[in-house]
Structure 1
Protein backbone atom coordinates (compact mmCIF):
# COMPACT_ATOMS: atom_id res chain seq x y z
CA UNK A 1 0.00 0.00 0.00
CA UNK A 2 1.34 3.42 -1.02
CA UNK A 3 0.59 6.50 1.05
CA UNK A 4 1.31 10.20 0.62
CA UNK A 5 1.18 13.28 2.82
CA UNK A 6 2.19 16.93 2.84
CA UNK A 7 3.48 18.34 6.11
CA UNK A 8 2.90 21.98 7.10
CA UNK A 9 4.53 24.67 9.26
CA UNK A 10 4.27 22.43 12.33
CA UNK A 11 7.35 20.49 11.19
CA UNK A 12 10.52 22.50 10.64
CA UNK A 13 12.43 20.70 7.89
CA UNK A 14 14.54 23.57 6.60
CA UNK A 15 18.32 23.49 6.25
CA UNK A 16 18.52 26.38 8.73
CA UNK A 17 16.70 24.47 11.47
CA UNK A 18 18.90 23.53 14.41
CA UNK A 19 19.98 19.92 14.75
CA UNK A 20 17.65 19.29 17.69
CA UNK A 21 14.64 20.83 15.92
CA UNK A 22 15.28 18.91 12.74
CA UNK A 23 15.87 15.66 14.58
CA UNK A 24 12.57 16.07 16.41
CA UNK A 25 10.77 16.82 13.14
CA UNK A 26 12.17 13.66 11.56
CA UNK A 27 11.24 11.63 14.64
CA UNK A 28 7.66 12.87 14.41
CA UNK A 29 7.57 12.19 10.69
CA UNK A 30 8.81 8.64 11.22
CA UNK A 31 6.22 8.12 13.93
CA UNK A 32 3.40 9.42 11.72
CA UNK A 33 4.34 7.36 8.66
CA UNK A 34 5.73 4.23 10.26
CA UNK A 35 8.62 4.56 7.82
CA UNK A 36 12.19 5.85 7.82
CA UNK A 37 12.35 9.40 6.36
CA UNK A 38 14.96 9.97 3.66
CA UNK A 39 15.98 13.54 2.84
CA UNK A 40 17.98 14.88 -0.08
CA UNK A 41 20.35 17.82 -0.34
CA UNK A 42 18.33 19.72 -2.93
CA UNK A 43 20.40 21.56 -5.51
CA UNK A 44 17.83 22.75 -8.10
CA UNK A 45 18.94 20.27 -10.75
CA UNK A 46 17.50 17.25 -12.52
CA UNK A 47 19.40 14.34 -10.93
CA UNK A 48 17.49 11.47 -9.33
CA UNK A 49 18.97 9.13 -6.72
CA UNK A 50 17.97 5.53 -6.09
CA UNK A 51 17.31 4.80 -2.41
CA UNK A 52 18.32 1.20 -1.85
CA UNK A 53 19.55 1.36 1.74
CA UNK A 54 17.24 3.15 4.17
CA UNK A 55 19.92 2.90 6.83
CA UNK A 56 22.07 5.50 5.05
CA UNK A 57 22.32 8.83 6.91
CA UNK A 58 24.01 10.97 4.24
CA UNK A 59 21.45 12.83 2.08
CA UNK A 60 22.33 12.59 -1.62
CA UNK A 61 22.72 15.82 -3.61
CA UNK A 62 19.83 15.63 -6.07
CA UNK A 63 16.26 16.79 -6.62
CA UNK A 64 14.48 13.46 -6.90
CA UNK A 65 14.53 10.25 -4.88
CA UNK A 66 13.07 6.94 -6.00
CA UNK A 67 12.77 3.47 -4.53
CA UNK A 68 10.79 0.25 -4.52
CA UNK A 69 11.61 -0.51 -0.90
CA UNK A 70 8.75 -0.53 1.60
CA UNK A 71 9.26 1.24 4.91
CA UNK A 72 11.11 4.21 3.35
CA UNK A 73 9.51 7.68 3.39
CA UNK A 74 10.89 9.73 0.50
CA UNK A 75 10.69 13.48 1.10
CA UNK A 76 10.79 16.52 -1.17
CA UNK A 77 11.05 19.75 0.81
CA UNK A 78 9.69 23.08 -0.39
CA UNK A 79 8.77 26.63 0.52
CA UNK A 80 7.18 27.82 -2.79
CA UNK A 81 8.77 25.22 -5.09
CA UNK A 82 6.61 22.30 -6.23
CA UNK A 83 6.83 18.98 -4.37
CA UNK A 84 5.80 16.18 -6.74
CA UNK A 85 5.11 12.60 -5.65
CA UNK A 86 4.97 9.73 -8.14
CA UNK A 87 3.72 6.19 -7.70
CA UNK A 88 3.31 2.97 -9.63
CA UNK A 89 0.87 0.99 -7.47
CA UNK A 90 1.34 -2.09 -9.65
CA UNK A 91 5.06 -2.48 -8.89
CA UNK A 92 5.52 -0.41 -5.72
CA UNK A 93 7.99 2.03 -7.26
CA UNK A 94 7.67 5.56 -5.85
CA UNK A 95 9.46 8.89 -6.18
CA UNK A 96 9.60 12.29 -4.50
CA UNK A 97 10.63 15.26 -6.63
CA UNK A 98 11.58 18.86 -5.80
CA UNK A 99 10.68 21.09 -8.76
CA UNK A 100 11.69 24.70 -8.36
CA UNK A 101 12.14 27.13 -11.23
CA UNK A 102 15.58 25.79 -12.24
CA UNK A 103 14.45 22.18 -11.81
CA UNK A 104 11.36 22.77 -13.92
CA UNK A 105 13.52 24.23 -16.69
CA UNK A 106 16.00 21.35 -16.36
CA UNK A 107 13.23 18.76 -16.58
CA UNK A 108 13.55 17.13 -13.18
CA UNK A 109 10.01 15.72 -13.25
CA UNK A 110 10.30 13.91 -16.61
CA UNK A 111 13.81 12.81 -15.59
CA UNK A 112 12.39 11.17 -12.46
CA UNK A 113 9.70 9.43 -14.49
CA UNK A 114 12.36 8.17 -16.88
CA UNK A 115 14.49 6.79 -14.04
CA UNK A 116 11.51 4.92 -12.62
CA UNK A 117 10.82 3.39 -16.02
CA UNK A 118 14.47 2.38 -16.41
CA UNK A 119 14.09 0.35 -13.21
CA UNK A 120 10.84 -1.36 -14.19
CA UNK A 121 8.31 1.05 -12.72
CA UNK A 122 5.74 3.07 -14.67
CA UNK A 123 4.20 5.84 -12.55
CA UNK A 124 0.46 5.94 -13.06
CA UNK A 125 -0.39 8.66 -10.55
CA UNK A 126 1.19 11.92 -9.39
CA UNK A 127 0.46 14.30 -6.57
CA UNK A 128 1.38 18.00 -6.82
CA UNK A 129 1.68 19.69 -3.45
CA UNK A 130 1.17 23.29 -2.36
CA UNK A 131 3.37 25.81 -4.16
CA UNK A 132 3.48 29.48 -5.06
CA UNK A 133 0.81 30.21 -7.66
CA UNK A 134 1.24 31.87 -11.02
CA UNK A 135 -0.45 35.03 -9.81
CA UNK A 136 2.15 35.49 -7.04
CA UNK A 137 5.46 34.31 -8.52
CA UNK A 138 6.85 37.46 -10.11
CA UNK A 139 10.07 37.16 -12.12
CA UNK A 140 12.00 39.50 -14.43
CA UNK A 141 10.76 39.42 -18.03
CA UNK A 142 14.06 38.01 -19.31
CA UNK A 143 13.94 35.14 -16.80
CA UNK A 144 10.34 34.41 -17.71
CA UNK A 145 11.33 34.13 -21.36
CA UNK A 146 14.20 31.76 -20.52
CA UNK A 147 11.86 29.37 -18.73
CA UNK A 148 8.91 29.53 -21.14
CA UNK A 149 11.26 28.83 -24.05
CA UNK A 150 11.62 25.39 -22.45
CA UNK A 151 8.22 25.06 -20.74
CA UNK A 152 5.69 27.31 -22.53
CA UNK A 153 2.85 26.34 -20.18
CA UNK A 154 4.64 28.07 -17.29
CA UNK A 155 3.99 31.58 -18.63
CA UNK A 156 1.85 33.65 -16.27
CA UNK A 157 1.09 37.15 -15.08
CA UNK A 158 0.91 38.32 -11.48
CA UNK A 159 -2.32 39.65 -10.05
CA UNK A 160 -0.71 43.10 -10.28
CA UNK A 161 0.12 42.72 -13.97
CA UNK A 162 3.83 41.85 -14.13
CA UNK A 163 5.66 38.85 -15.68
CA UNK A 164 5.36 35.66 -13.67
CA UNK A 165 5.78 31.90 -13.80
CA UNK A 166 3.25 29.23 -12.97
CA UNK A 167 5.43 26.36 -11.80
CA UNK A 168 2.47 24.10 -11.15
CA UNK A 169 1.14 24.50 -14.69
CA UNK A 170 4.59 23.73 -16.00
CA UNK A 171 4.84 20.56 -13.93
CA UNK A 172 1.38 19.43 -15.04
CA UNK A 173 2.36 19.93 -18.67
CA UNK A 174 5.55 17.93 -18.20
CA UNK A 175 3.66 15.09 -16.54
CA UNK A 176 1.17 15.01 -19.41
CA UNK A 177 4.06 15.00 -21.85
CA UNK A 178 5.44 11.77 -20.38
CA UNK A 179 2.07 10.07 -20.11
CA UNK A 180 1.19 10.58 -16.44
CA UNK A 181 -2.47 11.57 -16.67
CA UNK A 182 -3.80 10.88 -13.16
CA UNK A 183 -2.55 14.05 -11.44
CA UNK A 184 -3.94 15.11 -8.07
CA UNK A 185 -3.28 18.71 -7.09
CA UNK A 186 -3.37 20.39 -3.68
CA UNK A 187 -4.72 23.71 -4.94
CA UNK A 188 -3.07 26.00 -2.39
CA UNK A 189 -0.69 28.93 -2.87
CA UNK A 190 2.07 28.88 -0.28
CA UNK A 191 2.61 32.65 -0.49
CA UNK A 192 -1.06 33.37 0.19
CA UNK A 193 -1.79 30.70 2.82
CA UNK A 194 0.18 31.07 6.05
CA UNK A 195 -0.40 27.39 6.87
CA UNK A 196 2.50 26.70 4.52
CA UNK A 197 6.10 27.94 4.53
CA UNK A 198 6.86 30.49 1.82
CA UNK A 199 10.22 32.00 0.95
CA UNK A 200 8.49 34.64 -1.18
CA UNK A 201 6.46 35.73 1.84
CA UNK A 202 8.90 35.24 4.73
CA UNK A 203 12.37 35.36 3.18
CA UNK A 204 15.17 33.72 5.15
CA UNK A 205 12.81 33.16 8.09
CA UNK A 206 10.84 30.61 6.06
CA UNK A 207 11.13 26.99 7.10
CA UNK A 208 10.34 24.08 4.78
CA UNK A 209 7.46 21.63 4.52
CA UNK A 210 7.65 18.31 2.70
CA UNK A 211 5.82 16.11 0.29
CA UNK A 212 6.21 12.56 1.61
CA UNK A 213 5.53 9.22 -0.09
CA UNK A 214 6.04 5.76 1.37
CA UNK A 215 4.82 2.19 1.07
CA UNK A 216 4.12 -0.64 3.47
CA UNK A 217 4.98 -4.32 2.87
Structure 2
Protein backbone atom coordinates (compact mmCIF):
# COMPACT_ATOMS: atom_id res chain seq x y z
CA UNK A 1 0.00 0.00 0.00
CA UNK A 2 1.55 3.30 -1.15
CA UNK A 3 -1.21 5.64 0.01
CA UNK A 4 -1.15 6.17 3.77
CA UNK A 5 -3.23 8.05 6.35
CA UNK A 6 -6.31 7.76 4.17
CA UNK A 7 -9.52 9.59 5.01
CA UNK A 8 -12.85 10.08 3.24
CA UNK A 9 -15.96 12.18 3.52
CA UNK A 10 -19.24 11.79 1.67
CA UNK A 11 -21.43 14.41 0.07
CA UNK A 12 -22.67 14.71 -3.50
CA UNK A 13 -19.40 12.91 -4.29
CA UNK A 14 -17.12 10.78 -2.14
CA UNK A 15 -13.95 12.76 -1.42
CA UNK A 16 -10.83 10.85 -0.44
CA UNK A 17 -7.40 11.95 0.70
CA UNK A 18 -4.13 10.16 1.36
CA UNK A 19 -0.42 10.77 1.60
CA UNK A 20 2.45 8.99 -0.09
CA UNK A 21 5.73 8.57 1.81
CA UNK A 22 9.45 8.13 1.22
CA UNK A 23 8.84 4.86 -0.66
CA UNK A 24 7.64 6.73 -3.78
CA UNK A 25 9.93 9.19 -5.56
CA UNK A 26 7.80 12.12 -6.74
CA UNK A 27 10.46 14.82 -6.95
CA UNK A 28 10.97 16.74 -10.17
CA UNK A 29 14.60 15.61 -10.12
CA UNK A 30 13.58 11.94 -10.12
CA UNK A 31 14.23 9.89 -13.23
CA UNK A 32 11.14 10.03 -15.48
CA UNK A 33 10.67 6.27 -15.30
CA UNK A 34 10.87 6.32 -11.49
CA UNK A 35 8.39 9.17 -11.17
CA UNK A 36 6.18 7.54 -13.78
CA UNK A 37 6.07 4.35 -11.74
CA UNK A 38 5.14 6.35 -8.63
CA UNK A 39 2.30 8.09 -10.45
CA UNK A 40 1.06 4.79 -11.85
CA UNK A 41 0.88 3.35 -8.34
CA UNK A 42 -1.00 6.41 -7.10
CA UNK A 43 -3.43 6.01 -10.00
CA UNK A 44 -3.94 2.31 -9.30
CA UNK A 45 -4.64 2.81 -5.60
CA UNK A 46 -6.85 5.89 -5.96
CA UNK A 47 -8.65 4.94 -9.17
CA UNK A 48 -8.06 8.53 -10.33
CA UNK A 49 -5.74 10.27 -12.80
CA UNK A 50 -2.92 12.08 -10.94
CA UNK A 51 -2.24 15.73 -11.73
CA UNK A 52 1.07 17.28 -10.69
CA UNK A 53 2.05 20.93 -10.67
CA UNK A 54 5.42 22.59 -11.24
CA UNK A 55 5.70 24.19 -7.80
CA UNK A 56 7.50 27.53 -7.53
CA UNK A 57 6.89 28.67 -3.93
CA UNK A 58 4.32 31.27 -4.91
CA UNK A 59 0.59 31.81 -4.55
CA UNK A 60 -0.61 30.89 -8.03
CA UNK A 61 -3.77 28.78 -8.29
CA UNK A 62 -4.81 26.84 -11.40
CA UNK A 63 -8.14 25.25 -12.31
CA UNK A 64 -7.91 21.65 -13.51
CA UNK A 65 -10.68 20.87 -15.98
CA UNK A 66 -8.97 17.79 -17.42
CA UNK A 67 -5.58 16.10 -16.85
CA UNK A 68 -2.82 17.52 -18.99
CA UNK A 69 0.55 19.27 -18.77
CA UNK A 70 1.57 20.12 -15.20
CA UNK A 71 0.85 23.83 -14.68
CA UNK A 72 3.28 26.19 -12.96
CA UNK A 73 1.59 27.09 -9.70
CA UNK A 74 1.36 26.11 -6.04
CA UNK A 75 -2.30 25.16 -5.82
CA UNK A 76 -4.75 23.19 -7.94
CA UNK A 77 -8.55 23.24 -7.73
CA UNK A 78 -11.14 21.10 -9.51
CA UNK A 79 -14.71 19.89 -9.40
CA UNK A 80 -14.00 16.98 -11.73
CA UNK A 81 -14.40 13.46 -10.29
CA UNK A 82 -11.73 10.92 -11.15
CA UNK A 83 -8.90 13.47 -11.01
CA UNK A 84 -6.33 13.24 -8.20
CA UNK A 85 -4.66 16.53 -7.27
CA UNK A 86 -1.15 16.23 -5.80
CA UNK A 87 0.75 18.70 -3.62
CA UNK A 88 4.37 17.60 -3.17
CA UNK A 89 6.61 18.41 -0.23
CA UNK A 90 9.81 17.54 1.63
CA UNK A 91 9.41 19.85 4.69
CA UNK A 92 6.83 22.28 3.28
CA UNK A 93 3.16 21.87 4.20
CA UNK A 94 0.85 19.99 1.83
CA UNK A 95 -2.69 21.24 2.41
CA UNK A 96 -5.80 19.56 1.00
CA UNK A 97 -9.19 21.28 0.94
CA UNK A 98 -12.69 20.01 0.24
CA UNK A 99 -16.30 21.13 -0.03
CA UNK A 100 -18.23 17.92 0.67
CA UNK A 101 -21.50 19.44 -0.53
CA UNK A 102 -20.34 20.35 -4.04
CA UNK A 103 -17.34 18.08 -4.57
CA UNK A 104 -14.87 20.92 -5.17
CA UNK A 105 -11.36 20.04 -3.97
CA UNK A 106 -7.91 21.63 -3.83
CA UNK A 107 -4.29 20.65 -3.25
CA UNK A 108 -1.92 23.33 -1.96
CA UNK A 109 1.86 23.48 -1.51
CA UNK A 110 2.62 25.94 1.30
CA UNK A 111 6.30 26.44 2.02
CA UNK A 112 7.79 29.44 3.77
CA UNK A 113 7.40 31.80 0.77
CA UNK A 114 3.93 30.45 0.03
CA UNK A 115 2.83 30.93 3.63
CA UNK A 116 3.91 34.56 3.53
CA UNK A 117 2.35 35.05 0.08
CA UNK A 118 -0.95 33.60 1.31
CA UNK A 119 -1.30 30.62 -1.03
CA UNK A 120 -3.78 28.90 1.30
CA UNK A 121 -6.18 31.87 1.68
CA UNK A 122 -5.81 32.61 -2.04
CA UNK A 123 -6.88 29.05 -2.85
CA UNK A 124 -9.85 29.26 -0.48
CA UNK A 125 -10.90 32.50 -2.17
CA UNK A 126 -10.59 30.84 -5.59
CA UNK A 127 -12.82 27.96 -4.48
CA UNK A 128 -15.39 30.40 -3.12
CA UNK A 129 -15.31 32.32 -6.39
CA UNK A 130 -16.47 29.08 -8.04
CA UNK A 131 -19.37 28.88 -5.58
CA UNK A 132 -17.73 26.26 -3.36
CA UNK A 133 -17.60 26.37 0.43
CA UNK A 134 -14.48 24.50 1.55
CA UNK A 135 -15.19 23.32 5.07
CA UNK A 136 -12.64 20.53 5.60
CA UNK A 137 -8.85 20.76 5.44
CA UNK A 138 -6.06 18.24 5.84
CA UNK A 139 -2.53 19.23 6.83
CA UNK A 140 0.17 16.75 5.88
CA UNK A 141 3.54 16.01 7.48
CA UNK A 142 5.97 18.94 7.48
CA UNK A 143 9.02 20.18 9.34
CA UNK A 144 7.97 21.21 12.84
CA UNK A 145 8.53 24.55 14.54
CA UNK A 146 11.17 23.06 16.83
CA UNK A 147 13.28 21.95 13.83
CA UNK A 148 12.89 24.67 11.20
CA UNK A 149 15.70 27.08 12.04
CA UNK A 150 15.86 30.33 10.06
CA UNK A 151 17.83 33.59 10.40
CA UNK A 152 16.20 36.03 12.82
CA UNK A 153 15.54 38.61 10.10
CA UNK A 154 13.76 36.00 7.96
CA UNK A 155 11.70 34.92 10.97
CA UNK A 156 10.69 38.56 11.50
CA UNK A 157 9.79 38.95 7.83
CA UNK A 158 7.41 35.99 7.79
CA UNK A 159 6.02 36.58 11.29
CA UNK A 160 5.15 40.15 10.31
CA UNK A 161 2.63 38.63 7.88
CA UNK A 162 1.69 35.47 9.82
CA UNK A 163 2.47 36.08 13.52
CA UNK A 164 1.46 32.56 14.51
CA UNK A 165 4.41 31.16 12.56
CA UNK A 166 7.03 32.57 14.96
CA UNK A 167 8.77 29.73 16.79
CA UNK A 168 11.95 28.66 18.56
CA UNK A 169 14.03 25.58 17.81
CA UNK A 170 14.57 22.92 20.45
CA UNK A 171 18.12 24.30 20.74
CA UNK A 172 16.93 27.87 21.35
CA UNK A 173 17.36 29.70 18.02
CA UNK A 174 14.94 31.55 15.73
CA UNK A 175 12.53 29.30 13.85
CA UNK A 176 9.27 29.20 11.93
CA UNK A 177 6.31 26.92 12.52
CA UNK A 178 4.79 26.57 9.05
CA UNK A 179 2.00 24.30 10.29
CA UNK A 180 0.90 26.79 12.94
CA UNK A 181 0.87 29.49 10.28
CA UNK A 182 -1.30 27.41 7.96
CA UNK A 183 -3.69 26.57 10.81
CA UNK A 184 -4.03 30.27 11.59
CA UNK A 185 -4.83 31.04 7.96
CA UNK A 186 -7.44 28.27 7.85
CA UNK A 187 -9.04 29.52 11.06
CA UNK A 188 -9.10 33.08 9.72
CA UNK A 189 -10.94 31.77 6.66
CA UNK A 190 -13.52 30.05 8.87
CA UNK A 191 -12.37 26.46 8.33
CA UNK A 192 -12.53 24.64 11.65
CA UNK A 193 -12.58 20.98 10.57
CA UNK A 194 -8.81 20.56 10.21
CA UNK A 195 -7.33 17.05 10.17
CA UNK A 196 -3.57 16.67 10.56
CA UNK A 197 -0.95 13.98 10.11
CA UNK A 198 1.22 14.77 13.11
CA UNK A 199 4.72 13.99 11.88
CA UNK A 200 7.84 16.12 11.54
CA UNK A 201 9.54 15.35 8.25
CA UNK A 202 12.98 16.22 9.59
CA UNK A 203 12.64 13.87 12.56
CA UNK A 204 10.70 10.99 10.99
CA UNK A 205 12.68 9.17 8.30
CA UNK A 206 9.53 7.67 6.75
CA UNK A 207 9.00 11.09 5.15
CA UNK A 208 11.35 12.92 2.76
CA UNK A 209 13.09 15.96 4.26
CA UNK A 210 15.26 18.49 2.49
CA UNK A 211 16.45 19.82 5.86
CA UNK A 212 17.65 16.35 6.83
CA UNK A 213 18.88 14.94 3.49
CA UNK A 214 19.60 17.99 1.36
CA UNK A 215 19.67 17.54 -2.41
CA UNK A 216 19.33 13.77 -2.00
CA UNK A 217 15.80 14.10 -0.64
CA UNK A 218 12.86 13.11 -2.81
CA UNK A 219 9.29 14.36 -2.42
CA UNK A 220 6.10 12.88 -1.04
CA UNK A 221 2.61 14.09 -1.87
CA UNK A 222 -0.72 14.87 -0.35
CA UNK A 223 -3.37 13.47 -2.70
CA UNK A 224 -7.07 14.36 -2.93
CA UNK A 225 -9.67 13.05 -5.35
CA UNK A 226 -13.41 12.50 -5.68
CA UNK A 227 -15.67 9.87 -7.21
CA UNK A 228 -19.39 9.02 -7.26
TM-score by length of 1: 0.99
The answer to whether residue 174 in structure 2 is matched with residue 159 in structure 1 is no
Alpha-carbon RMSD across the aligned residues, in angstroms, is: 0.4
Q: Does 1:9 align with 2:9?
A: no
Mapped to 2, the partners of 1:10 and 1:203 lie a distance apart of 17
For residues 5-39 of structure 1, what are the alpha-carbon distances to aligned partners after superposition, in whole Å with 9 as ceiling and x for unaligned? 01001110001100110110110010010000000
Match of 2:61 among 18, 23, 48: 48
Does the alignment pair 1:27 with 2:46? no
> Residue 173 of structure 1 corresponds to which residue in structure 2?
184
Q: Distance in 2 between matches of 1:144 and 1:156?
A: 8
Shift of 1:42: 0.2
Alpha-carbon deviation of 1:53? 1.2
1:184 match: secondary structure: strand
What 5-or-longer segments of structure 1 have no aligned partner?
A: none
Using the TM superposition, give the Cα deviation of residue 46 of structure 1 relative to its aligned residue in structure 2, in angstroms.
Answer: 0.5
| Alpha-carbon distance in 2 for matches of 1:65, 1:180 | 18
Is residue 115 of structure 2 the alignment partner of residue 104 of structure 1? yes
Instruction: Tell me what 1:194 maps to.
Output: 205
Q: CA deviation at 1:110?
A: 0.3
Gaps of 5+ in 2: 1-13
Q: Does residue 1:136 correspond to 2:152, yes or no?
A: no
1:170-191 deviations in Å (ceiling 9; x for gaps) = 0000000011111011110000
Q: What is the distance in 1 between the residues matched to 2:40 and 2:222?
A: 16
Equivalent-residue separation in structure 1 for 2:61 and 2:24 (angstroms): 25
Q: Which moved more, 1:178-187 or 1:202-211?
A: 178-187
Instruction: Write out per-residue CA displacement over residues 143-172 of structure 1, whole angstroms, 9 at most, x where no aligned residue.
Output: 000000000000000000000000000000
Matched residue SS, 2:88: strand
- TM score, norm. by length of structure 2: 0.94
**Quick one: distance in 1 between partners of 2:213 and 2:186?**
30
Q: Quote the offset at 1:120 in angstroms.
A: 1.0
Q: Post-superposition, which runs of at least 4 consecutive aligned residues in structure 1 deviate over 3 A?
A: none
